[in-house]
Every structure is written in structure tokens, then in C-alpha cells.
């Protein structure tokens, strides 16, 4: 890939252009708003205006409801040999493209799953897509050459490609993006009339749970509307869960005269919450997140030290390496901190992330501990 065009120099378009320009691709920047192009150009994202001849790939990075028209328009004008877009919903824009008579052989729908709270070209970053998923939705019409060009684009942006049928993509984002957005936003909406003393108690939990609710309301209404069909069954299920939770809480809030009914309501509520714990556990941690790696258990013999457990934990503290857990199973229960002398067989387990196992072992051996 030698040449590219980015239509729409907002956060996503300019970030793609920055990534491509950094890899030596000559990138042409187009936008209705000349100020946005000027900022993108000034940031090194590419050159302003249309290319002198068709580029290898054009990225249509405009809002979802303008995607199909922009694609049709630029295809007719011969902007590129291959076209992709970044709309967060795929089935509807694809149907619109067909209706507008687009050439679907050179078309590969796309959706990079990355973003920031800030928008516009100034917030763009060349590494915005690094290690993020980027869905491509080729159709049976799409040529292999077009798909490979789109895969090259994803690769140059450092993202992880995922090929999906448009309806599967739309069901997936309904589940992992649109449903949580709607729920977080409705939850945040309850703050609007909250008492001042109540709102001021909102801490990190509330901030994180409702962070996405800051998103532009009109933009998100359009996104949710464009994906209403995929969202509908999820909303129905969630409303049923919410009704069940409300029913259980109603039983639990009344002056309980029937212990069996109360116990059943608590069990129902616990089961509902447990489903959430299990669903949450399915989310893959980000790449390179230490939490995603399995754990290692180090066994440390406590030997004949005075107050060995205190000294061991002090030494771990000094090594500035984080423990996930301590397993005291190997410690004799009748000697709480082994203040006196003890059997050399006594030991404790230290549960650590694998990256921590080696430096912690070395640090503890330096301090005289026998570590296995």
C-alpha cells in the first residue's frame, strides 16, 4: 500500500491517517470542514485535498448515517481502488450502499473498536488502534484483493482484524457496546434529579459504570436506532431480569413475615447477580494486562527466624512487588506468628503473577529466604 485517502478527519479518520503516514503511506485528507483538515495536516496526518489519481484504499470515516452516501459519491468519482468505512453498525449502511448502487466488489465494511472521550482531529493518536479489535465485514461479492487491502490497513494501524458477517457484527456490538451504553446512560439519568448530598457521594464505581454516558446523545440515538433490530431481543431479556430483581427486592423490603419467601427472594436475587459475575468473567482482559496471565505459587520456608511471617511480608513490601494472596496452609496453626522457635518444615505460599515470580524469588533469596 502506497497511497490512501481518508474522508472525514475526526478522531477516527485522523488517527488512521496518522498511523498510515507514520508507515510511509501517502495519505490524502478530505473533510467538509476545512478547519479539521488544517489541524489534521498540521499534526502530520497527510496532505490536504483529493489525490491526483485513484489511491490504493479510501477510508470513509464519516458518521454512520452519512456513510453509504459518502461511499457511493466517492466510488462514482473514482477516489480509490478499494473502499472501507468505520461505521459502528454494519448491516444498515451495507443495505443502503446496495440501494445506492455501490460496487460491492471493491467494498469492505469495517469497524475499528477504539475511541476516546474527546473527539476531533486534535484528539487523534497514531496508536489509537494498537491491540484493539477491528471488525471487517466482507460480503460474498467482495474480491480477495479488496479484502487483503483492508487487512493491510488494519495491520498498519496495529489492530487485530476480526472477520464477521454484518448481522453478526451488529448483534455483537449490541451486546458489548450498545446495551451497556443505554443502561449506563439511563442509570446516569437518575442522577439528574438526585439530591446534591447524594450526587456528591458518587465515587469511582459510579464514575466508571456511567463513563460512557457522557457520549453525545444525538450521535448515540442514531447509532442505537441504526442497530435497533439487534438490540431488541437483548432489551427484552434485560427488562425481564430487571423485573425479576424488582420483584425479589419488593419481597425483601416488606416487613418479612414469611421466612421461606424471604429466603427464596434472596436466592433469586443472588442468582441474578451471579449471572452478572459469570458474564463479566467472560470479558477478555486487554492484551498485556498482567491480570490476564495465570498465577504462580511460590513456597517460602520460614526457617528459624523470629516472627518470620512479619519479616517475610516486610521483605515482600520492600521488594515493591505485588502479592495477590498469601496461603498460610503450611504454617502450624498453634503458633500464630511463630514467635518462638519452630519446625523448619513450616512454610507459606505466596500467590503472584508470573512476571513477579522471578524478581520476587531473587529479592527474597537475597534476603536469606528459602524459596521454591
Query: Hey, which residues between 132 and 171 contact a second copy (CB under 8 A)?
Result: 132-133, 135, 162, 164, 168, 171
For a second copy, give the closer residue by CB, 236 or 288.
Answer: 236
CB of residue 366 vs a second copy: minimum separation in angstroms?
20
Closest CA to 7 of 41, 26, 25, 30: 30
φ/ψ of 115, rounded to 5, equals 180, 180
Site string for a second copy, 225-254 (x = CB under 8 A): x--xx-xx-xxxxxx-xxx-xx--xx-xx-
Gap between the Cα atoms of 239 and 133, Å rounded? 29
Q: Which residues in the 13-52 window bind a second copy by CB under 8 A?
A: 34-35, 37-39, 41-44, 48
Residue 140 or 203 having the CB closest to a second copy: 203
- Closest contact distance (angstroms) between CB of 237 and a second copy is 6
Q: Is 301 in the site for a second copy (CB under 8 A)?
A: no
Total Cβ atoms within 10 A of residue 268: 17
> Which DSSP symbol is given to 117?
S
Q: What is the Cα–Cα distance from 244 to 233, expressed in whole angstroms?
A: 17
Q: Which is nearer to a second copy, 1 or 244 (CB)?
A: 244
Query: What CA–CA distance (Å, rounded) separates 345 from 74?
Result: 76
Does residue 204 belong to the site contacting a second copy (CB under 8 A)? yes
Q: Please, which residues have CB within 8 angstroms of residue 358's CB and are 6 or more apart in sequence?
A: none
Could you tell me the three cell numbers for 256?
418479612
Q: Residue 82 in contact with residue 108, Cβ under 8 Å?
A: yes
Task: Considering only the stretches 1-9, 67-75, 93-101, 274-282, report the one whose residues sit in contact with a second copy under the rule CB under 8 A.
Answer: 274-282
189 is an interface residue for a second copy by CB under 8 A: yes
Site size toward a second copy, by CB under 8 A: 123
What secondary structure does DSSP assign to 163-210, as a single string? E--HHHHHHHHIIIIIHHHHHHHHHHHTTTT--HHHHTT--HHHHHHT
Q: Is 333 in the site for a second copy (CB under 8 A)?
A: yes
Q: In this chain, which stretch among 2-10, 73-81, 94-102, 281-289 interacts with a second copy, using CB under 8 A?
A: 281-289
Minimum distance from CB of 171 to a second copy (Å)?
6
The residue from 2, 78, 195, 340 that contacts a second copy (CB under 8 A) is 195
Shortest distance (Å) from residue 372 CB to a second copy: 20
Any contact of residue 323 with a second copy (CB under 8 A)?
A: yes
* Residue count of the chain: 372
Q: Give the C-alpha distances (Å, rounded to integers) separating 57 from 113, 145, 147, 260.
A: 20, 11, 11, 66
The CA distances from residue 26 to 14, 140, 335, in Å, are 13, 30, 72
Question: Which of 337, 354, 362, 366 is close enough to bind a second copy by CB under 8 A?
Answer: 337
Residue of 86, 83, 132, 136 whose CA lies nearest to 106: 83
User: d(Cα 372, Cα 366) in Å, to the nearest integer?
Assistant: 14
**Contacts to a second copy from residues 81-140, by CB under 8 A:** 113-115, 118, 120, 122, 132-133, 135
In angstroms, rounded to a whole number, what is the distance separating the alpha carbons of residues 198 and 207?
14
Assess 273 for contact with a second copy (CB under 8 A).
Answer: yes
Q: Which of 1, 98, 206, 301 binds a second copy (CB under 8 A)?
A: 206
Of 12, 61, 224, 357, the one binding a second copy (CB under 8 A) is: 224
Closest separation in Å from C-beta 185 to a second copy: 3
Q: Of these, 283, 288, 294, 320, which contacts a second copy (CB under 8 A)?
A: 283
Amino acid at each position: 500500500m502506497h497511497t490512501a485517502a481518508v474522508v472525514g478527519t475526526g478522531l477516527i479518520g485522523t488517527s488512521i491517517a496518522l498511523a498510515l503516514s507514520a508507515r510511509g503511506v501517502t495519505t490524502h485528507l478530505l473533510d467538509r470542514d476545512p478547519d479539521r483538515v488544517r489541524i489534521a495536516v498540521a499534526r502530520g496526518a497527510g496532505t490536504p485535498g483529493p489525490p491526483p489519481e485513484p489511491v490504493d484504499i479510501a477510508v470513509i470515516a464519516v458518521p454512520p448515517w452519512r456513510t453509504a452516501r459518502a461511499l457511493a459519491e466517492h466510488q462514482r468519482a473514482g477516489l480509490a481502488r478499494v473502499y472501507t468505512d468505520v461505521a459502528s453498525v454494519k448491516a444498515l449502511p451495507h443495505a443502503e450502499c446496495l440501494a445506492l448502487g455501490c460496487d460491492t466488489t471493491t467494498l469492505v465494511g469495517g469497524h475499528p473498536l477504539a475511541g476516546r472521550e474527546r473527539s476531533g482531529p486534535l484528539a487523534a493518536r497514531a496508536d489509537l488502534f494498537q491491540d484493539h479489535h477491528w471488525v471487517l465485514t466482507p460480503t460474498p461479492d467482495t474480491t480477495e484483493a479488496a479484502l487483503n487491502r483492508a487487512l493491510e490497513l488494519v495491520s498498519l494501524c496495529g489492530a487485530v482484524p476480526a472477520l464477521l458477517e454484518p448481522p453478526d457484527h451488529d448483534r455483537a456490538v449490541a451486546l458489548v457496546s450498545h446495551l451497556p451504553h443505554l443502561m449506563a446512560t439511563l442509570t446516569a439519568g437518575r442522577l439528574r434529579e438526585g439530591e446534591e448530598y447524594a450526587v456528591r457521594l458518587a465515587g469511582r464505581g459510579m464514575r466508571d459504570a456511567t463513563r460512557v454516558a457522557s457520549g453525545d446523545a444525538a450521535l448515540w440515538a442514531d447509532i442505537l436506532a441504526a442497530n435497533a433490530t439487534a438490540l431488541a431481543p437483548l432489551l427484552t431479556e434485560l427488562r425481564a431480569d430487571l423485573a425479576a430483581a424488582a420483584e425479589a427486592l419488593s419481597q425483601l423490603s416488606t416487613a418479612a413475615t414469611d421466612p421461606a419467601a424471604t429466603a427464596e427472594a434472596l436466592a433469586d436475587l443472588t442468582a441474578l447477580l451471579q449471572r452478572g459475575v459469570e458474564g463479566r468473567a467472560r470479558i477478555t482482559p486487554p492484551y498485556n494486562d498482567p491480570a490476564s496471565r495465570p498465577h504462580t505459587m511460590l513456597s517460602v520456608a520460614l526457617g528459624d527466624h523470629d516472627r518470620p511471617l512479619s519479616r517475610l511480608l516486610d521483605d515482600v513490601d520492600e521488594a515493591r512487588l505485588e502479592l495477590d494472596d498469601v496461603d498460610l496452609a503450611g504454617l502450624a496453626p498453634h503458633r500464630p506468628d511463630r514467635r518462638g522457635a519452630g519446625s523448619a518444615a513450616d512454610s507459606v505460599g505466596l500467590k503472584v503473577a508470573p512476571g513477579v515470580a522471578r524478581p520476587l524469588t531473587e529479592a527474597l533469596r537475597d534476603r536469606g529466604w528459602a524459596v521454591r
